[in-house]
Amino acid sequence: MLADPAITPVTRCYWLWTNSNYVLRTGAPRDAIALIDEAVELATDHGLAVAAVLRRYRIGHDLTVPNLTRAGAELAALEGARRVEPYYEMRAWLALQRGELAVALREAQTALEFAEERGRTYYRILDRFLLAVIHAEAGALDDARAEIAHYRRDTAGVQGPLADYHALLVDAYIAWCSGDRDRCVEPLRGALAIGERERYRSHWIWHPAMMVRLYGEALERGIAIPYVQDVIRTHALAPA
């Protein structure tokens, strides 16, 4: 279909973007980067407005690899640009990966306020998950529980298992961070069962430090070991 000369640049651009997201979640992240780079180039060459959004999603690809140097440079280049989602989300995600948790929290709260003001339900929901991860990482576990409860309410009835996967991962991480490793097991088992079935190799707000801890727990407990090992290899994760 893509070889058809009647396919417009807009259609081709959106297909590349969608495919890059799919590959990022289920395949090799660097393959996904090649696809989204092609989409950005095509959109820029044809003056498509979606190029602004694609550039921000490209940063998300860098943060998943992760290539923090490039992600930081790209965000710096966008400082004078129009605030298009997901801009503040990417700033928060970068700060989280750098361990700058106060900055991450501030940027994530700004992202949520921006999404609410603009009526952007999709990003408002994702921002709740982002905030839950940041709070858990910072040890603010009650706040993390409150945000993931809000996320669950907002995603109730949504088709597909991704929302449950996200929520169970955070439940497991909250338990791990609280020192209750036994309470971590059930939600971790549930999350990884979904991940294995759906072939997830990454997710929104992929945070290697969090995943190393959860995957380490899974390996110790004998949970989804072949799947966990596969994702560890995909991202070249190292023990803490």
Per residue in 167-207, pLDDT (tens digit) is 999 999 999 999 999 999 999 999 999 999 999 999 999 99
Residue ranges in the chain modelled with pLDDT below 50 = none
Residue of 111, 110, 102, 167 whose CA lies nearest to 137: 102
- The reported pTM is 0.95
* pLDDT given for residue 83 in this prediction: 85
Run of H or E including 62: helix 51-64
* pLDDT given for residue 81 in this prediction: 87
CA distance readout (Å), 137 to 91, 98, 239: 16, 12, 17
* pLDDT given for residue 152 in this prediction: 98
Angle at 130 between CA 74 and CA 160, to 5 degrees: 110
| Cα-Cα end-to-end distance for the chain | 46
Sign, CA torsion 80/85/88/93? negative
